[in-house]
Amino acid sequence: MIRLFAIASYATPVFFLGLLLKLIFSVWLPILPSNGRVSTFYESDLQAVAFPTGFNLIDSIQTGNMTIIVDVLSHAILLALALGLLTAATFIRLIRTNLISTLSTDYVFAARSRGISDKRIINKHAWKPALMPIITVMGMNIAMMLAGAILTETTFEWKGLGYQLSQLIKARDFNAVQGIVILIAIIVSVTNFIVDILAAAIDPRVRQSGEDV
């Protein structure tokens, strides 16, 4: 079932998934808002905080009003699902493949021969090596998520970076488009740098190879 879910998620276009989520949770089961970042009647409260940041969640926490915080979070759920499922399938398949490969190594067989339980083998011996390729791919998927955010934010009318980029392209404001593209490039570069640090922290072999270089 998990493999079927991963294949279906990977094959579904993000804009179609967004429309489907809106249809299910905003029309058929009207429990979540279909668009926007916050309800209209709360926008003035967010603008009136002492130190407005433009991040609705941070500004809603500054208000101290739990109703506004819940409203902001509820507006983010469908967009987060649509964008998260875009990459979830890749990670699910990678985790399964890498874990199966790691469980076939000699040191795992040696651990089993000493009578160590499967749960301890997975947690202590197999999980970290299997996690390494996933962390690497996670850094590369940041760019794909930012590209998917353009379609997702447009579908949900979420006025974020992707939505702003799509509006600037329509308006042919190429200077602003270039600025946002440079910002996205910086985000991707910083993320990949952080991924390299995490890889070295998790796998001693990466640290050793860096020292050898």
- C-alpha to C-alpha distance for 113 and 16, rounded to whole angstroms: 50
Domains of the chain and any CATH numbers: 2-212 (1.10.3720)
Separation of alpha carbons 155 and 153, rounded Å? 5
pLDDT, tens digit (0-9, with 9 covering 90-100), for 71-89: 999 999 998 888 888 778 7
| Contact status, residue 166 vs residue 176, Cβ threshold 8 Å | no
Q: Alpha helix (H) ranges present in the chain?
A: 2-11, 14-22, 43-47, 56-63, 66-102, 106-113, 118-120, 127-156, 161-170, 174-202, 204-212
Q: 86-112 burial by CB neighbour count: b if 16+ within 10 A, else e? A: bbebbebebbeebbeebbeeeebeebe
Amino acid 205: pLDDT: 63
Least confident stretch, 5-19, 56-70, 172-186, 197-211: 197-211
Give the C-alpha separation, 22 to 209, whole Å.
48
The residue whose two tokens read 């910002």 is: 183
Question: How far is Cα 139 from Cα 121, in angstroms, rounded to an integer?
Answer: 27
Q: What's the chain's Rg over C-alpha atoms?
A: 22
pLDDT per position as a tens digit, 88-106: 877 888 888 888 888 888 8
93 neighbors 6 (Cβ within 8 angstroms): yes
How confident is residue 134, by pLDDT bands cut at 50, 70 and 90?
A: confident
* Residue 20 Rama label (left phi>0; alpha psi -120 to 50; beta): alpha
Out of 25-39, 151-165, 199-213, pick the least confident.
199-213
Q: How far does the chain reach from its first CA to its final CA, in angstroms?
A: 44
For residue 185 the two structure tokens come to 């490039």
